[in-house]
Amino acid sequence: MQLPTNLAAQNYQALRPATLPTDGMSGAGDAIQNAAASFQETLASAENASIAAMTGDADPHSLVQALTQAELAVETAVTVRDKVVEAYQEILRMPI
């Protein structure tokens, strides 16, 4: 049984819009973007609290709280990175 090449081309053309990028981010892309923005805000807050503590404008409690939040954010980012690398390595080990 032979399939005409036009049929294959028509099917490909019909499915092509599903593979094209969209204008906006969707689902996971939005979540990653929001997580990165939150991570950046947390680190900036810790940096500002550290600067304020060095100049004597902040109390030690707010400094410790900001640094603890920054430490937790960095540990979370490292854990996510490790899981992504582990998943990528697992995909590479899959037989073809």
Is pLDDT larger for residue 13 or for residue 36?
A: 36
What's the chain's average pLDDT? 83
- The pLDDT score that the predictor gives to residue 69 is 93
Does residue 14 fall inside a structural domain? no
Residue 29 has pLDDT above 80, yes or no: no
CA-based max dimension of the chain: 83
Q: CA torsion angle for 29, 69, 45, 55 (degrees, to 10)? A: -160
- Total domain count, the chain: 1
Kindly tell me the number of DSSP H helices and DSSP E strands found in the chain.
Answer: 3, 0
Q: Is 7 inside a domain boundary?
A: no
What is the predicted pLDDT for the residue at 65?
92
Provide the residue range defining the domain that includes 78: 26-93
Half-sphere exposure of 33 (CA within 13 A, CB side): 7
Q: Does 76 fall in a domain?
A: yes
Percent of the chain whose predicted confidence (pLDDT) is above 70: 78
For the chain, how are helix, strand and coil distributed in percent, rounded to 5? Answer: 80, 0, 20
Q: Does any domain span residue 19?
A: no
Examine residue 51 and state whether it is found in any structural domain, yes or no: yes
Q: Is the pLDDT of residue 87 over 90?
A: yes
The pLDDT, as a whole number, for residue 19 is: 61
